[in-house]
Amino acid sequence: MTVRIQTEDFDLGHELTSMRLAEHAKNKSTKKESIGALVSFIGQVRDMNDGNAINTLTLEHYPEMTQKALAAIESEASARWDIIDSLIIHRVGTLNPLDQIVLVAVSSAHRGEAFSACEFIMDYLKTSAPFWKKEATNQGERWIEAKQSDDVAKARWQNKVKN
Amino acid sequence: MTVRIQTEDFDLGHELTSMRLAEHAKNKSTKKESIGALVSFIGQVRDMNDGNAINTLTLEHYPEMTQKALAAIESEASARWDIIDSLIIHRVGTLNPLDQIVLVAVSSAHRGEAFSACEFIMDYLKTSAPFWKKEATNQGERWIEAKQSDDVAKARWQNKVKN
Amino acid sequence: MNIKVLYFARIKEAVNYSTENVELPKDVLTVIALKNWLSLRGEVWANLFNGKQVVRAAINHVLVDDMAAIQAGDEVAFFPPVTGG
Amino acid sequence: MNIKVLYFARIKEAVNYSTENVELPKDVLTVIALKNWLSLRGEVWANLFNGKQVVRAAINHVLVDDMAAIQAGDEVAFFPPVTGG
């Protein structure tokens, strides 16, 4: 389980391929099942939002808390589902339209576990990890409002038993 | 919506990055929302299965039907969810352990749609697309048996209304 | 009528070829009737269609169930449950 | 007791600084009591904690609700609902 908070961009192909192949050696000695599935989510800066062209998106965070909050989400996912590994990379600072913001990737033996765990991590990240977005458009700057739909997405998991 | 059946490997980073950025130009004229989310599934050849080391995995398919079946699955996903684009790459022929088998990727404005559509496509691909896997181990060759759990995974979608 | 029949995977290996053109009697008008007619060819065919294993069918590249009607010129394929992905 | 208070995002901009050390009166023992005590500082603070907008709190980097107890040396953070991802 890995969490990285960084200003610099990340190489998507490299990250996913490393993850896909990395547990190979470890598997042979300690794990019964090898990776068959890798599910990933990539979030990027939209070029348009609510009808306005986005110039930049700035991500503020609470450094001492962020790492801890994301690691706790990964632990919870790993307790709920039979996954092999998980990775969260989240960027902070000022980004441009179409820049990558976040990568969440989960590997598992079978696809169902990886799909559920990856979506779970995203839903919790959206509602529990201390990041705040500020958009700059030609009409000025504005803090992005939290979405009710994100609370709803998170609440779904609270009624589910481990599958 | 794209379907590619091929013997050669694919460059994961290139495929996902192209998809992430490709609709940009198209968006400006024809789409109201730009891509904010990209969900992908990568399936790979396991190195172990049922306790046996895998030497090779051979994928047979029904060429005239495969393309059609996969395109139909993508159309159905696109009718059910508000997605921007989808991609299926599936390899055929003889593969080695840890080789990539399949990539399914779905882009959308918001993450929920892309997660659902990507998992839907995989669940239907597993049960409706004419591919058959044969494993070679030191104990000989064996055709992989279809899994009951895949029928169950597909059946979940048949009771769901469009969300 | 004349149709084309295709076999895949474990079924192709059992019958030992992948494609044939067959001239059907007048009363073989559905997938299940075709299975019945083929099973009369001999042991390999009887074993294939004895109901112990699922044999799926497609007509002209679309999955169908055994009640589906066959027409002249159709391409009918038989194969085991799929295992791709 | 002495605690450290942090502010983030829109709240940091409203109060115009990000960190302060405060010496709390004896009876300020919870997050809600701290909000009440801070709101007495003036209009900016009263507007912040008037209940019209959600202000989330964390103690020592863990999200808490307003009933949570504060102890000497704690790091208490106030921020708007999060919007990462």
Cα distance between residue B47 and residue A29, in whole Å: 13
Phi, psi of B94 (to 5 degrees): -100, 125
pLDDT of residue B161: 55
Residues of A in contact with D6 (CB under 8 A): 62
Query: Measuring CA to CA, which residue among B80, B25, B118, B31 is closest to residue A42?
Result: B118
Query: What type of residue sits at position A26?
Result: K
Chains C and D touch (3+ CB pairs under 8 A): no
Reduce the DSSP state of residue C63 to 3 states and report it.
strand
Query: Which of D56, D64, D82 best probes binding to A when mutated, by most A CB atoms within 10 angstroms?
Result: D82
Ramachandran class of A91: left when φ > 0, alpha when ψ lies in -120 to 50, beta otherwise: beta
Chain A residues in contact with B27 by the CB 8 A cut-off are 47-48
Closest partner CB to B13 (pick from A11, A39, A41): A11
Q: Measured between beta carbons, which residues in chain B are less than 8 angstroms from residue A44?
A: 20, 35-38
CB contacts under 8 A, B 112-131 vs C, are 122, 125-131
Using a CB-CB distance cutoff of 8 angstroms, which residues of chain B are in contact with residue C18? none
Residues of A in contact with D8 (CB under 8 A): 60, 62, 130, 132
pLDDT beyond 70 at C30: yes
Residue indicated by tokens 């993850």? A19
Interacting residues of C13 by C-beta distance below 8 A, sequence separation 6+: none
Q: How many residues does chain D have?
A: 85
Q: Which of residues 96-115 of A touch B (CB under 8 A)?
A: 98, 100, 109-112, 114-115
| Shortest distance, CA B38 to any CA of chain A (angstroms) | 5
Which stretches does DSSP call E strand in chain C? 2-7, 19-23, 56-59, 62-64, 75-79
Establish whether chain A is in contact with chain D, requiring a minimum of 3 CB pairs below 8 angstroms.
yes
Selecting from A12, A32, A36 the residue whose C-beta is nearest the C-beta of B16 gives: A12
pLDDT digits (tens, 9 = 90+) for B67-100: 999 999 999 999 999 999 999 999 999 999 999 9
Can you tell me whether residue C85 is helix, strand or coil?
A: coil
- Cα maximum dimension of chain B: 58
Distance from CA of A13 to the nearest CA of D (A): 19
**Taking CB atoms and an 8 Å limit, are A37 and B36 in contact across chains?**
no
Beta-strand pair A83-91/A2-6: parallel
Q: Note the pLDDT of residue B163.
A: 46
C26 is written with which tokens? 């007048």
Give the three-state DSSP class for A134: strand
Element (H, E) at B136: strand B131-137
D79/A102 CB distance under 8 A: no
C83 Cβ under 8 Å from any chain B Cβ: yes
d(CA B108, CA B35): 5
Written as tens digits, the pLDDT of chain B (163 aa) is 999 999 999 999 999 999 999 855 454 445 557 899 999 999 999 998 878 899 999 999 999 999 999 999 999 999 999 999 999 999 999 999 999 999 999 999 999 999 999 999 999 999 999 999 999 999 999 999 999 999 999 999 987 654 4
**Gap between the terminal Cα atoms of chain A:** 21
- Subunits with at least 3 CB pairs below 8 A relative to chain B? A, C
For residue C4, pLDDT over 90 is answered with yes
Contact (CB<8Å) D85/A125: yes
d(CA A102, CA B42): 18
Q: In this structure, what token pair is assigned to residue A119? A: 């979506």
**Most A CBs within 10 Å, among D61, D62, D64, D78, to test the A interface:** D61
pLDDT of residue A22: 82
Q: Identify the DSSP state of C81.
A: P
Considering only CB atoms, which chain B residues are within 8 Å of A38? 41-42, 44
C84 touches chain B (CB under 8 A): yes
Whole-number pLDDT of residue A159? 74
* Cα A9 → chain centroid: 14
**Residue whose C-alpha is closest to residue B27's, from B133, B108, B96:** B108
Question: Is A91 within 8 Å of chain D by CB?
Answer: no
d(C-alpha A110, C-alpha D3), whole Å:
48
Q: For A92, what's the count of Cα atoms within 13 Å in the CB-facing half-sphere?
A: 14
CB A62 within 8 A of CB D4: no
Closest CA to D65 of D74, D53, D78, D46: D78
- What pLDDT sits at residue D18? 94
Helix (H, G, I), strand (E, B) or coil at A155: helix
Q: Give the tokens for residue B36.
A: 């904010």
Residue among C30, A78, A79, C82 nearest B90 (CA): C82
Q: Which residue of A has its CA nearest to D63?
A: A128
CB D39 within 8 Å of CB D46: yes
Across-strand partners of A4? Answer: A89
Q: Note whether A114 and A38 are within 8 A (CB).
A: yes
Question: What radius of gyration, in Å, describes the C-alpha atoms of chain B?
Answer: 17
State the Cα–Cα distance between residues A19 and A4, nearest whole angstrom.
Answer: 14
Q: Dump strand ranges (E) for chain A.
A: 2-6, 37-44, 48-49, 52-61, 83-91, 93-95, 100-108, 131-137, 140-143
Q: Which residue has the tokens 């998991």?
A: A157
Q: Are D2 and D21 in contact (CB under 8 A)?
A: yes
The pTM of this model reads 0.94
Per-residue pLDDT tens digits of chain A, which is 163 residues long: 999 999 999 999 999 999 999 855 454 445 556 899 999 999 999 998 878 899 999 999 999 999 999 999 999 999 999 999 999 999 999 999 999 999 999 999 999 999 999 999 999 999 999 999 999 999 999 999 999 999 999 999 987 654 4
| Distance of residue B109 Cα from the nearest chain C Cα, in angstroms | 26
Q: Does residue C52 carry a pLDDT above 90?
A: yes
Identify the burial level of C52 via C-beta atoms within 10 angstroms of its C-beta, where 0-12 means exposed, 13-18 middle and 19 or more buried. Answer: exposed
Chain A residues 63-92 with CB within 8 Å of chain B: none
**CB-CB contact of B105 with B119 (8 Å):** no
Amino acid at B114: A
Amino acid identity, residue A64?
E
Interface contact C78, partner B, CB < 8 A: no
